[in-house]
Copies of this chain bind each other. A is one copy, B any other.
Amino acid sequence: MIRYKITFAYDGTNFSGFQIQPHKRTIEQTLKTIVNRMAKNPDPAISIIGSGRTDAGVHALNQVAHFDFPYHIPEQSMVRALNSQLPLDIIVKKAEIVSNEFHARYNAHRKRYRYRVTQGEFVDPFKRNYTAHFKYPVDIAHMNRAAQDLVGTHDFTSFVASGSQAKSNIRTIYEAKVYYEDHDHEVIFEFVGNGFLYNQVRIMVALLLEIGSGQRPVDDVQRVLAARDRQEARMTAPASGLYLVNVDYGGNN
Q: Which residues of A contact B (CB under 8 A)?
A: 9-11, 59, 83, 88-91, 93, 122-126, 128, 130, 183
Contact = CB atoms under 8 A, between A and B. Distances in A.
9 contacts: A9-B125, A11-B125, A59-B126, A83-B122, A89-B125, A89-B128, A90-B125, A91-B125, A126-B130
Contact of A128 (B59, B88, B124): B88
Nearest to A80: B121
A26 B117 CA distance: 29
A22 to B, nearest CB: 25
Nearest to A86: B125
Contacts of A124: 9, 91
Given A11-B128, A128-B11, A123 B91 contact: yes
Given A89-B128, A91-B124, A93-B122, 8 more contacts: A9-B124, A9-B125, A11-B125, A59-B126, A88-B128, A89-B125, A90-B125, A91-B123
